Amino acid sequence: MFDLTVIDVDTACAPATVQGIRTLTRIRVVLPLTIEQEVDLGLTPGAHEVVGYVQRAGGGDPIELPAVETLTVPVRWLHALDSVPSRNHRDITGRAW
């Protein structure tokens, strides 16, 4: 279960959906390269990214960074924060509670 801040409701489609923002933490970092960086690295200019994680110098666990993702889900998936989902409810990953 996760919190979703609803920013739009679409009742014109079936089933009705909501678009929302979910905040979470991740260790994965994606940094797009600029054209200048691509050229300096000898890459063909295009869409290149550096993918990895941030770690303190000298080692240790990767640092968790805040992230925001936008989701569109059916309205029927929503539950009030103080409610308990039914026993057969499954979350977005397909796992049962």
The alpha carbon dihedral of 60, 52, 66, 32 has a sign of: positive
Question: How many angstroms separate the CA atoms of 93 and 70, rounded?
Answer: 16
Instruction: Identify the pLDDT of residue 47.
Output: 87
Q: What is the pLDDT of residue 17?
A: 94
The pLDDT assigned to 90 comes to: 61
The per-residue pLDDT for 96 is 46
Q: Is the pTM of this model over 0.75?
A: no
Low-confidence ranges of the chain (pLDDT < 50): 96-97
Residue 92 is predicted with a pLDDT of 56
